[in-house]
Amino acid sequence: MFLTFYVHPVSTFGAVLDMVTDRISTACLLVILSQVYRPSFVFLSLLALDIGSHWFQMYSTFLVGKSNHKDVKDSTSWLFRLYYGNRMFMGYCCVACELLYIILFLLAKESEKMTDVLMDAAKQSIIYSALLAFLLFGWATKQLVNVIQMKTAADLCVLYDLNKKHNK
């Protein structure tokens, strides 16, 4: 995620490397959190959604012949277009997501529920509450975009297969 803001991928290799490093950093955080909090399937499901949605997006981009997986101008989802069309908004969502995971790790206490940890942190001050709300909004938006991304890309793959079958 941070590589995107420092090195703008100008090649296919750069774009893939950028996405792979983003997925690896997120995967590491989610696997660690799955060991700290229960039920762990929540974090492992988020990991599957993150990797799966981005894989589908890259694959569908390849199938339809687009040069960039962030080219979603033809999408019917306004949120999906906003996310990939506005680097500041996408950056906010990505950074909020990663920071929330890091904060969850730093605040973790043995045998405590994640919701209790977040509520305790929010009760400490209005600043913590506002920060957590800001991060949770970015995190939730990114998860929603991942769901939209997976569905949109899966639909494109199905359409590609149907067109291929029809043109035989």
8 Å CB contact between 64 and 160: yes
Catalytic residue among 22, 116, 155, 161: 22
**SS3 letters across the chain:** CHHHHHCCCCCHHHHHHHHHHHHHHHHHHHHHHHHHCCCCHHHHHHHHHHHHHHHHHHHHHHHHCCCCCCCCCCCCCHHHHHHHHCHHHHHHHHHHHHHHHHHHHHHCCCCCCHHHHHHHHHHHCHHHHHHHHHHHHHHHHHHHHHHHHHHHHHHHHHHHHHHHHHCC
Q: Which amino acid is at 8?
A: H
8 Å CB contact between 46 and 143: yes
155 in catalytic set: no
The catalytic residues are: 22
